[in-house]
């Protein structure tokens, strides 16, 4: 199942954010006074293994810092921003909240959000140790509104048994989208109801971010550098969208999944040869011998192998200088290498820091517990850019989702779909 923390849309939350902005004052900056014995409250969405590991870290922090109290409250991640906005209006936001990275541009507009730009530049934080995709998502218009809490990426998980039966060599690190398409066609068997690959088609951000990675690999961009106009109606846009259409419409090698859930069971039962997915799915593939490889590339574009990440953030809210100081102290400790390493080893979540990823023996330890995850760790190096950090992105995502689905269902030709979507995006940008 898709990790929904990456794909939640904002349409219903933008108006709520506007209400908060109209009711509040100017931007809050971090306080400098001593954290003293302030108790800080954290809203997180952790359950099961993640919740256990997080509770351990909180207990360890309190043990290392006598007098410091940390209170953790479970809040469903999908609901956190709405609840935060309500709490801000009531004057009682949490001190720290786990918020989706896709919400960052809207989060940045909340006056109570603490600007962490000075904090992350402290040498002890080592801000550059976080992956560039994480730092980009945590930064809005030069303002750091959070510290990375989670990072993911997309790679190709393939069925080794089906590849062998089809007489195909396992995909190598230098493979291309032409090879991916050819392999998908050979892996397809109508009589066996077997598909070469799959694509999620609910029209949500999950649909969109899979295509965006191809767009970047083809050398394209979603918007212009100024974020004022669409840039995807281009040769790169046509190449990337045509790749998907060829498999879905021409070759019939692509299973289209509007539920965003069925693909996982189909792959696990040997009915799909390859999936572009993330590390969150690996634990469900218990009945198939699989391998993991980076996403293919488009030769000649110079863009190389790229992927896309879905980083989430720890965001600090201003409840007075003492609380801010205590929250900053805890959050910088929580996201330091030692704690990042512990949390990853306990949960299987990818490390948010590069130094942890390359530490001796770390990937091997992770891979022992969750085979194939080391490839996703290495793939973090292929995260070279992020989605546009603008408040209008939810509107853009909806337009792009409809565009991709229309092409995959054979209702639109790629060029016509690109042109129409670009016009809609330009109207959305101009009217905002």
Segment 365-402, tens digit of pLDDT: 999 999 999 999 999 999 998 999 999 998 999 999 99
Q: Which residue, 136, 86, 134, is CA-closest to 110?
A: 86
Average pLDDT score over residue span 73-93: 96
Cα distance between residue 262 and residue 266, in whole Å: 6
| pLDDT attached to residue 310 | 82
pLDDT digits (tens, 9 = 90+) for 18-46: 445 544 433 444 433 444 567 999 999 99
Q: How confident is the model at residue 15 (pLDDT cuts 50, 70, 90)?
A: very low
CA 285, CA 290: separation in Å to the nearest integer? Answer: 8
CA distance 341 to 67: 25
Per-residue pLDDT at 36:
52
Query: For 410, how many CA atoms within 13 A lie in the half-sphere containing its CB?
Result: 9
Q: What is the pLDDT of residue 12?
A: 47
State pLDDT tens for residues 331-351: 999 999 999 999 999 999 999
Q: How many whole angstroms separate alpha carbon 372 and alpha carbon 294?
A: 11
Q: Which residues, in sequence order, are bridge partners of residue 74?
A: 44
Query: Which residues have C-beta within 8 Å of that of residue 169, sequence separation ≥ 6?
Result: 163
CB 110 within 8 A of CB 17: yes
* Percent of all residues in the chain with a pLDDT value above 90, rounded to a whole number: 89
**pLDDT of amino acid 30:** 41
pLDDT of 258 strictly over 90? yes
CB 114 within 8 A of CB 317: yes
Domains, in order of start, for the chain: 4-152+311-382 (3.40.190.10), 155-308+392-431 (3.40.190.10)
- Average pLDDT of the chain? 92
The helix (run of H) or strand (run of E) holding residue 134 is helix 132-138
E strands of 1-105, at which residues? 39-44, 69-74, 96-100
Residue 242 buriedness (CB in 10 A; 0-12 / 13-18 / 19+): middle
Percentage above 70 pLDDT, the chain: 91
| pLDDT over 90 at 236, yes or no | yes
* Angle of the 235-245 helix axis to the 414-431 helix axis, nearest 10: 130
| Structure confidence at residue 159 (pLDDT) | 98
Q: How confident is residue 119, by pLDDT bands cut at 50, 70 and 90? A: very high
pLDDT at 69 over 90: yes
Say what the pLDDT of residue 24 is: 45
Q: What share of the chain is helix, strand, coil (3-state, %, to 5)?
A: 50, 15, 35
Burial of 299 per CB tally in 10 Å (0-12, 13-18, 19+): exposed
Res 267 pLDDT > 50:
yes
Q: Over the stretch 187-196, which tens digit does the pLDDT of each residue have?
A: 999 999 999 9
Residue 19 pLDDT: 45
Give pLDDT tens digits for 120-147: 999 999 999 999 999 999 999 999 999 9
Residue 37's pLDDT is 64
Write down the pTM of the prediction.
0.89
| pLDDT digit string, tens, across residues 196-228 | 999 999 999 999 999 999 999 999 999 999 999
How far apart CA 151 and CA 128 sit, in angstroms, is 15
Of the pLDDT bands very low, low, confident and very high (cuts 50, 70, 90), residue 432 is low
């Amino acid at each position: 199942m898709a990790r929904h923390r990456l794909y939640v849309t904002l349409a219903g939350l933008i108006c709520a954010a506007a209400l908060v902005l109209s009711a509040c004052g100017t931007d809050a900056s971090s306080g400098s006074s001593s954290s003293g014995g302030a108790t800080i409250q954290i809203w997180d969405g952790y359950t099961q293994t993640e919740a256990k590991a997080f509770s351990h870290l909180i207990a360890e922090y309190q043990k290392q810092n006598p007098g410091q109290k940390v209170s953790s409250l479970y809040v469903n991640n999908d609901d956190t921003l709405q609840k935060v906005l309500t709490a801000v209006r009531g004057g009682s936001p949490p001190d720290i909240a786990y918020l989706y990275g896709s919400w960052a541009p809207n989060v940045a507009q909340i006056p109570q959000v603490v600007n962490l730009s000075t904090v992350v530049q402290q040498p002890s934080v080592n801000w550059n140790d976080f992956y560039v995709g994480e730092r980009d998502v945590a930064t809005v218009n030069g303002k750091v509104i959070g510290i990375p809490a989670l990072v993911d990426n997309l790679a190709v998980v393939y069925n080794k048994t089906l590849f062998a039966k089809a007489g195909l060599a396992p995909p190598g690190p230098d493979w291309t989208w032409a090879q991916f398409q050819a392999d998908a066609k050979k892996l397809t068997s109508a009589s066996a109801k077997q598909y070469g690959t799959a694509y999620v088609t609910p029209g949500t951000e999950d649909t969109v971010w899979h295509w965006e990675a191809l767009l970047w690999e083809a050398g394209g961009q979603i918007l212009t550098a100024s974020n004022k106009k669409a840039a995807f109606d281009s040769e790169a846009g046509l190449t990337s969208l045509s790749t998907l259409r060829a498999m879905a419409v021409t070759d019939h090698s692509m299973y289209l999944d509007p539920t965003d859930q069925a693909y996982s069971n189909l792959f696990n039962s040997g009915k799909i040869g390859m999936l572009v997915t993330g590390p969150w799915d690996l634990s469900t593939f218990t009945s198939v011998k699989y391998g993991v490889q980076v996403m293919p590339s488009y030769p000649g574009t110079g863009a190389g192998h790229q992927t896309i990440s879905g980083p989430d953030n720890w965001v600090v809210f201003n409840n007075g200088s003492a609380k801010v100081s205590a929250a900053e102290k805890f959050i910088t400790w929580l996201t330091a290498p030692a704690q990042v390493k512990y949390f990853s080893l306990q949960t299987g979540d990818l490390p948010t820091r590069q130094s942890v990823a390359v530490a001796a023996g770390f990937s091997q330890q992770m891979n022992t517990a969750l085979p194939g995850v080391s490839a996703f760790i290495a793939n973090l190096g292929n995260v070279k850019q992020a989605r546009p950090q603008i408040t209008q992105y939810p509107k853009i995502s909806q337009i792009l989702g409809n565009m991709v689905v229309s092409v995959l269902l054979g209702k639109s030709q790629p060029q016509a779909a690109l042109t129409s979507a670009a016009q809609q995006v330009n109207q959305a940008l101009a009217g905002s």
